[in-house]
Amino acid sequence: GAVQLTSTTGSNKCPICGKSNGIHSAGEKAQRIAGGVVINPPHKYPWLVYIQSVIEGFSYSCGGQIINSRWVLTAAHCFYDGRDSGCNYIEEAEVHVGLHQSDFRDKKFLTGVTRIIQVKDFVEHQGFQCGISHDDDIGLLGLEEELDLFSIKQSEGIKAICLPKDDEGWFEGDQAVAAGWGATASKRSESTQKTMKVPQDVPSEVNIPIKRELCSTYKASWITDNMLCAGNHRKSKDACSGDSGGPLAVKNKNDTYVL
């Protein structure tokens, strides 16, 4: 069925979406998103969220973005694990909103107006086929608690990103921004004796061009005409493990970020 994405607050006013906090900064060099820099200032992209899920007893992480007070957009494949068939379905998940710096190993939140909200609804695109195709890799997470996107107290760390209108969207050659806590560090579990990816403590960002021609360079059977490609492999700029589901956003003529 259809998912209602309009606000349930009863207000006729809509919160402002897609407005970044602060100007672009070169930031500190980062080893999370490949070729990226640490996001500076904190909460520069206040729609960015960290998602932690449990599948078959294992913990997984993905990125996502707030699209309104009740829903977070992510990738449908984040609802499944990557082991064996890769199609064991998600058991539970929580969304960290307003997060910037954290020690994920000990769950200590160091900065930010962080809230951890449980997920009550998992909705994947009806065309997504786990283990068969990467087309329609879109998922929605329904939050148990409604976000107050009008709150002055939270406005710096929690905002929604804009969804494109009919006359908006990405164009060939546009500069897009990818952001997330993508993991490059590994940690060996004492209980399972397996090496696991560990998210970085602070998120990173990278500016990458949207280039359709990049799709043909991958020579991968799972890339289809329904997808777009973005990145700069000559300069090793790209998203990384753990960034799945996070935003790839383009700034429009109104200085507003649109998915």
Catalytic residues: 77, 137, 244
Contacts of 202 (CB under 8 A, 6+ apart): 30, 38, 39, 100, 101, 181
CA atoms within 13 A on the CB side of 197: 16
d(CA 167, CA 55): 39
φ and ψ of 218, to 5 deg: -75, -30
CA-wise closest residue to 53 among 31, 72, 33: 72
10-20 burial: b if 16+ Cβ within 10 Å, else e: eeeeebebbbb
List Cβ neighbours of 145 (8 Å cut-off, separation of 6 or more): 115, 117, 118
